[in-house]
Structure 1
Amino acid sequence: MADFATLDELKARLDWTLDADEERIATSALEDASDLARIHAGLEWPDAASAPRLVRTLVLKACKRYMTNPSGYTQSRAGDETLGWNDSQGEDAGTVYFTDDEQKLLAEVGGRKRGLWTAEVSAWNSVRRPVTAGLVPVAQPTPDSKPFPMFGDEVEPW
């Protein structure tokens, strides 16, 4: 599979010129970020051109974050040489990763929306009847049967 962004596009976003070793690391980061983008989106685009531009942007953003801070430091102090990490990145510290918001964006681009969904369930060969709010249909209706009231007061049912 092709990467969603090129090394030249990543170089344009960085503040320094990459040496040969950094170019090798950046190429690997682009591959890793592209693979992660496919997983989070849940889609396999045949080539990078068929993917939305947002995917390329998010891949470049993740790679720039990694290239700028490859060890995942969250604190650094020159005096006494203090370096620090925190648990906010967890196992992703020092790797190419997408933030929670970026993962949500990729899922939405792929058509996978998070949240609680309801699905209508019905019995086989059942007939849908219009139901008025607060009324329950009768199990075996007759021509003169009426829906059963579920609430005691129609004005304030709750």
Structure 2
Amino acid sequence: MNQTPMTVLGAEKLREELEYLKTVQRPQIIQAIAEARAHGDLKENAEYHAAREQQGFCEGRIQEVEAKLSKAQIIDVTKLPKNGRVIFGATVTVLKCDTEEEITYRIVGDDESDIKSGLLSINSPIARGLIGKEVDDVATITTPAGKVDFEIVQVEYI
């Protein structure tokens, strides 16, 4: 079975979502189906059909989250050796050499990535270019906008 790297925080968010789906959303949908069923004829009962569709989406998401958690290789970066190298889970501050802009990224699994929040997928070109580098190293990374030089300013394992 292929394992997918995931941070402790990413796994915790998925567990919270799973708990919500099972203990809050699923019972609400079951209640909505029961109420709609009480209205009589199911063939032309829009509330019933909407609730059943919602149930399908909910159950599908529960299965998806459970599958992701079962395949997750949870990596706690705080327990790894702090050798100054950029690794999965590390928080990296880089200086974009052409604009002098400082950017901080946390390298995370595909399912956790959110570039607007600074969560960079391990499989993104930037993350792949930074992995293994140390403070003061310069990584030249090919982005959609062309080649960009990033100088590593800080590496944290938080």
Normalized against structure 1, the TM-score is what?
0.25
Q: Which has the higher helix share?
A: 2
Higher-Rg structure is 1
Q: Which has the higher strand share?
A: 2
Structure number with greater CO (CA < 8 Å, separation at least 6) is 2
